[in-house]
Amino acid sequence: MGMTMTQKILAAHAGLDHVKTGDLIEAKLDLVMGNDITTPVAITQFDKTGFTRVFDPEKIAIILDHYTPCKDIKSAQLCCQAREFAHRFHISHLYDVGNVGIEHALVPEKGLAAPGDMIIGADSHTCTYGALGAFSTGVGSTDMAAGMAMGENWFKVPSAIQVVLKGSLQPYVSGKDVILHLIGLIGVDGALYQSLEFTGEGVSSLSMDDRFTVANMAIEAGAKNGIFPVDEKTLDYIRDRVQRPYTVYEADPDAEYTRQVIIDLDTLEPTVSMPHLPSNTKTIGEAAGLPIQQAVIGSCTNGRISDLRAAAEILKGRRVAENVRCIVIPATQSIYLQAIHEGLVDIFVNAGCAVSTPTCGPCLGGHMGVMWEGERAVTTTNRNFVGRMGHVGSEVVLASPAVAAASAVAGCLTDPVTLMKGE
């Protein structure tokens, strides 16, 4: 029996010719990543265990993005602990205020992830880098500590679900709609400890930003990872970013999948996830009219330049509704600067939006958009659990940048097609 893309990467990094579902392996790592919340926990475990060196200071990334710029004394303490560790072991990939970005947008942008890589990160949305044809997955801080010291971790080889994409994305439909639709189909545990492997001619209609969004939310279906084939768009993206050898893997023709899910992109509509699970999906037509008090456009899921362009197209010449706060967060400094040069920031400010420096802030109810009881937000983030953005009595609706922007203008969940047509 052949192997899936994921299984081939795992086998190669374990020094094995073949692996099968359920095998326990030890695999060498190409990158270990943590943020300002998870890295201090890993550091404490690292020191407690008695480790005195890291396996490779060039293959560790510490990204201070969740509570930064530091929102309080505790977050300042955590950041200081992470900085001290990075300086102690001469870790070159320390990204701090002024040079930081939301980790899962920054890692690909900086060329730290490449096709065929084996990547772990102490953050559940590390699965983002599967968009580049890498195996990347979230781990706990203890595993991060072990990875920093030893350069390897153990894994159980996952089975896989084949997601076949047909057709092409229609106007105002994006990768966010693809992944929300998929999670709605299979549920938040529909891919539990499995690999979501995306295939089909429809993949070519997805931009790299779309693919990052889809892979980012694989975890919201319970998946161990999500992964895309490497094509010309992938190679174009990494061409001026990745300055080291990499390996492109393809699934074998006889690779085994537990199931196949087919998504017709031609008929896919803008989709939202209603409170309080990503799987609680509706088309925007079914959800339209629900009042909101806040809109957030950003995060590791949808804070890239194409996301900001989609929002700006809708907000240009319009104003955010009086009862709505709209917060726009470019995912990295580079994206922020590009948005300024393209005039997108002017559009956002003129529309009545607050534009923030890169931060995860509101996504986890940390800062820059915490909600009170009874408030509801439409947001381009990735989770809408109870209390995710603040008070347990608040609500979060997940959506694409186009839907979030249109809803901010209308003051309620709104189809961007309807808004742009002036209906």
Beta bridge partners of 264: 166
Question: pLDDT (tens digit, 9 = 90+) per residue, 316-332?
Answer: 999 999 999 999 999 99
| 30 pLDDT above the threshold of 90 | yes
Provide mean pLDDT across the span 72-94: 96
| 423 pLDDT above the threshold of 80 | no
pLDDT of residue 254: 95
Beta bridge partners of 165: 263
Contacts of 202 (CB under 8 A, 6+ apart): 164, 165, 166, 167, 168, 263, 265
CB 278 within 8 A of CB 188: yes
| 420 pLDDT above the threshold of 70 | yes
pLDDT of residue 114: 98
Q: What is the CATH number of domain 5-263?
A: 3.30.499.10
Instruction: Tell me the pLDDT band of 421, cut-offs 50, 70 and 90.
Output: confident
Instruction: Tell me the pLDDT band of 174, cut-offs 50, 70 and 90.
Output: very high
Provide mean pLDDT across the span 221-227: 97
| 176 pLDDT above the threshold of 60 | yes
Q: At the top level of CATH, which class does the domain 271-421 belong to?
A: alpha beta
Provide mean pLDDT across the span 186-213: 96
Instruction: Tell me the pLDDT band of 46, cut-offs 50, 70 and 90.
Output: very high
Question: pLDDT (tens digit, 9 = 90+) per residue, 280-321?
Answer: 999 999 999 999 999 999 999 999 999 999 999 999 999 999
Domain ranges of the chain: 5-263, 271-421
| 162 pLDDT above the threshold of 70 | yes
User: Which long-range CB contacts under 8 A does 76-80 form with residues at least 24 apart?
Assistant: 78/36, 78/37, 78/39, 78/40, 79/36
- Across the chain, what does the average pLDDT equal? 96
| 126 pLDDT above the threshold of 80 | yes
Instruction: Tell me the pLDDT band of 105, cut-offs 50, 70 and 90.
Output: very high
- The residue assigned the tokens 């060329």 is 111
CB 228 within 8 A of CB 133: yes
Which pTM value belongs to this model?
A: 0.94
Q: 5-263 with 271-421: one CATH topology?
A: yes
Percent of the chain surpassing pLDDT 90: 98
Question: pLDDT (tens digit, 9 = 90+) per residue, 332-382?
Answer: 999 999 999 999 999 999 999 999 999 999 998 999 999 999 999 999 999
